[in-house]
Structure 1
Amino acid sequence: MLFKSFSQKLFLLIALTLILVVSMCSSIVYGYARTDWALAYQAFTEFNGSNEHIILTTVRLPRALIAALVGASLAIAGAIMQALTKNPLASPGVFGINAGAGFFVVAAVSIFHVSSLAAYTWLAFLGAAAAAFTVYFVGAMGREGLTPVKLTLAGAAIAALFSSLTQGLLVIDEAALDQVLFWLAGSIQGRKLEALASVWPYLAAAFIICAFLAPKINILTMGEDVARGLGQKTGTVKLFAAAAVILLAGGAVSVSGPISFVGIVIPHLARYLIGNDHRWIIPYSAVLGGILLTVSDIAARYVIMPEEVPVGVMTALIGTPFFIYIARKGFDQA
């Protein structure tokens, strides 16, 4: 833990929030269509209908907002999952929740030809919930019950299952492949404010739930016996935490597709900076997750310009070495 006092933690959080704002502004300014900061300012103060102004206000602004919101959602979901499971590798990607949400959306597109954004959102929630409960059920089987290793293996198996089913559907239906292939790689390119409007109320509700749960999660991480001794209803806390994770992961996937590694990397970075108090970890994870995905999205525009790399590829390049590092350390630390 680098920052210990309240004032230090608050100052750093404010500084990181400013960095997030600058990152979002940079996301609006930089890209294939050449614009600058003055032109961006004019687009929001003196809109004239030019192509540059339209790009800035209808393409890049939603993209910046979505990147920040999706990054924050995935990071908070990872922080909650790591705390509840005491598993340093826990995240929506590793535990198959993203894959489950993605499969349900692809199945709806391929089989029922669904195209509604609102339907995508609810299908992603349903898929996330199905994957989460399946992983929990499989991981709890056996005499030892839930353990970090069993949960990780169960999550990897369920993620592989849903990914295989998704690929099978796409092989059968080439039209669906064309529609969702870039989305499945994890991308926020071309997303409109309508996509954000369909999901932000659920993400906001999940943020509020996590904020209220933070003190209770601190107690729960001390052990269930201790939590029960202090009068905590651990089952209720876990139920609300699971609901928050499903809303966060499902909502993020419905907008951007399954983006991996944000939920692994960011909670570890937050704990390294400010310790294990979830009253701080949750807001830090939100801000750091937003920064990571926003900056990754900016970088994705320049790698093979004029084409773009899906932002999920960029987060994988960042997160894979970190994942290997954590896995080699073992499960001693959460």
Structure 2
Amino acid sequence: MKSIFIRPYTILICSPIFICAVVLISILYGTKDISAITVWEAIFHFDASNIDHQIIRTSRLPRAIAVILVGAFLAVAGAVMQGIARNYLASPSLMGVNDGSAFVITLVMVFFPGLPNYQMILLSMLGSALGASLVFGFGSFIRNGLSPVRLAIIGTVIGTFLSSVATAVAMYFQVSQTVSAWYNTKVHMVDLNMLFLSIPFGLFGLLLAIVSARAITITSLGEDTAISLGQKTKIIKLISMLSVVCLTGTAVALVGKIAFVGLVIPHITRFLVGVDYRFIIPCSAVIGAFFLGLCDLMSRYINFPYETPIGVVTSLVGIPFFLFLIRKFGGESRG
């Protein structure tokens, strides 16, 4: 499949228009349609006694913003992982990063209920680091364990183990219904305070990724090549993984686990703009935001008036894409 090169600036200029359109549709339409005038009044002239204003301010607007942010965060996290690991299957959902976050959040909700939101975000990041460390640690001890397919299998096994332990703990302490929101996503019940707190953490992760973009491009050429060009690969990998931990931990703390965004979007972006991560990272962010916003709309209308979990929609795209990558690349690392 040959690349179709599109100027990155075209994507960066056009994508926000599509993102705004998706956000507007998400706010206007639902089980109850609301006029654009009412939306404008709810945002700029809020009336607490107006039910429509309450719906927009406390439900639809936070949901729409959260979805596009999470789409951007997960897409960039996947792009960074694929570049640093030189692994075309690297993504937060396949490498245990999402599962680590959800696992730690479960333990926190059971043993330390009522923690402030910012501590939840920090602990979710810690969980991301835990999940990634377990997967790459086990991969390092197994022969050819860092090859794409084997690392994906290890990530799936460890992710399943962490999810199973978390589920067992939640059931034992009778908080399984609360915890299930993080495993099945909770875009329909985004906490406004958590949303405001998540933005700085997520932007910090994006900033780290953008600052490291040129170095990630060099690292993606191979360890030996990067070292010969004077690259301090260990420092770059550390900064890059800190970016992934911030982005993924924030996303999971905000809406729960969403799979395949970090796998699919970086490949699509690379196909469109080439292999320079100075373009891949910002373009992944805007394409990921649009993609997840579109998936959220589809999840609401596939079985209208009932909602389909957004993870089901992303899986409908992600699973065939995953199988396509396996068929195309086999067990080879990206060169």
Give me the TM-score of the superposition, normalised by structure 1: 0.93
**Could you say if the C-alpha distance between residues 141 and 332 of structure 1 is closer, same or farther in structure 2, counting changes exceeding 3 Å?**
closer
Q: Quote how far apart the aligned CAs of 1:145 are.
A: 6.8
Q: Quote how far apart the aligned CAs of 1:283 are.
A: 0.8
Q: Residues 132-147 of structure 1: matches in 2 within 5 Å? A: 132-142=132-142, 146-147=146-147
**Could you say if the C-alpha distance between residues 332 and 290 of structure 1 is closer, same or farther in structure 2, counting changes exceeding 3 Å?**
same
Q: 2:100 aligns to what?
A: 100
Q: Quote how far apart the aligned CAs of 1:298 are.
A: 1.7
Q: Residues 245-256 of structure 1: matches in 2 within 5 Å? A: 245-256=244-255
Question: Is the 2:147–2:332 contact (alpha carbons within 8 Å) kept by the matching residues of 1?
Answer: no
With 264-273 and 108-117 compared, the bigger mean Cα shift is at 108-117
Q: 1:291 aligns to what?
A: 290
Q: Quote how far apart the aligned CAs of 1:296 are.
A: 1.3
Whether 1:314 aligns to 2:313 is yes
Q: Residues 103-182 of structure 1: matches in 2 within 5 Å? A: 103-142=103-142, 146-174=146-174, 176-182=175-181
Find the aligned partners of 1:30 and 1:124 in 2 and give their Cα distance: 32
Q: 1:228 aligns to what?
A: 227
**Could you say if the C-alpha distance between residues 46 and 145 of structure 1 is closer, same or farther in structure 2, counting changes exceeding 3 Å?**
closer
Give the residue type in structure 2 aligned to 1:96: G
Secondary structure class of the residue paired with 1:31:
coil
Task: Give CA-to-partner distance per residue, 1:120-160, whole Å, 9 cap, x none.
Answer: 21221111111111111111114657332332232122111
Find the aligned partners of 1:274 and 1:189 in 2 and give their Cα distance: 33
Give the residue type in structure 1 aligned to 2:306: E
Q: 1:67 aligns to what?
A: 67
Question: Is the 1:185–1:313 contact (alpha carbons within 8 Å) kept by the matching residues of 2?
Answer: no
Find the aligned partners of 1:98 and 1:186 in 2 and give their Cα distance: 12
Find the aligned partners of 2:66 and 2:14 in 1 and give their Cα distance: 21
Give me the TM-score of the superposition, normalised by structure 2: 0.93
Moved over 6 A (4+): none
Question: Is the 2:148–2:332 contact (alpha carbons within 8 Å) kept by the matching residues of 1?
Answer: no
Question: Is the 1:32–1:301 contact (alpha carbons within 8 Å) kept by the matching residues of 2?
Answer: no
Question: Is the 1:31–1:298 contact (alpha carbons within 8 Å) kept by the matching residues of 2?
Answer: no
Q: Residues 46-61 of structure 1: matches in 2 within 5 Å? A: 46-49=45-48, 50-61=50-61
Question: Is the 1:186–1:313 contact (alpha carbons within 8 Å) kept by the matching residues of 2?
Answer: no
Find the aligned partners of 1:328 and 1:144 in 2 and give their Cα distance: 19
Whether 1:3 aligns to 2:5 is yes
Give the residue type in structure 2 aligned to 1:110: V
Question: Is the 1:128–1:250 contact (alpha carbons within 8 Å) kept by the matching residues of 2?
Answer: yes
Question: Is the 1:96–1:132 contact (alpha carbons within 8 Å) kept by the matching residues of 2?
Answer: yes
Q: Quote how far apart the aligned CAs of 1:331 are.
A: 4.2
Give the residue type in structure 2 aligned to 1:24: V
Q: 1:14 aligns to what?
A: 13
Q: 1:300 aligns to what?
A: 299
Secondary structure class of the residue paired with 1:87:
coil
Task: Give CA-to-partner distance per residue, 1:90-112, whole Å, 9 cap, x none.
Answer: 11000111011101111121233
Question: Is the 1:182–1:310 contact (alpha carbons within 8 Å) kept by the matching residues of 2?
Answer: no
Q: Quote how far apart the aligned CAs of 1:27 are.
A: 1.6
Question: Is the 1:97–1:249 contact (alpha carbons within 8 Å) kept by the matching residues of 2?
Answer: yes
**Could you say if the C-alpha distance between residues 309 and 144 of structure 1 is closer, same or farther in structure 2, counting changes exceeding 3 Å?**
closer
Unpaired runs of 5+ residues, structure 1, are none
**Could you say if the C-alpha distance between residues 328 and 144 of structure 1 is closer, same or farther in structure 2, counting changes exceeding 3 Å?**
closer
**Could you say if the C-alpha distance between residues 304 and 143 of structure 1 is closer, same or farther in structure 2, counting changes exceeding 3 Å?**
closer
Unpaired runs of 5+ residues, structure 2, are none
Q: 1:243 aligns to what?
A: 242
Find the aligned partners of 2:315 and 2:186 in 1 and give their Cα distance: 12
With 305-314 and 195-204 compared, the bigger mean Cα shift is at 305-314
Q: 2:279 aligns to what?
A: 280
The total of aligned residue pairs comes to 330
Task: Give CA-to-partner distance per residue, 1:16-54, whole Å, 9 cap, x none.
Answer: 121112111222212122213232223224433411112
Whether 1:259 aligns to 2:235 is no
With 51-60 and 238-247 compared, the bigger mean Cα shift is at 51-60
Q: 1:24 aligns to what?
A: 23
**Could you say if the C-alpha distance between residues 310 and 115 of structure 1 is closer, same or farther in structure 2, counting changes exceeding 3 Å?**
farther
Find the aligned partners of 2:142 and 2:100 in 1 and give their Cα distance: 24
Task: Give CA-to-partner distance per residue, 1:151-202, whole Å, 9 cap, x none.
Answer: 223212211111111221233133x112122331122112132111222211
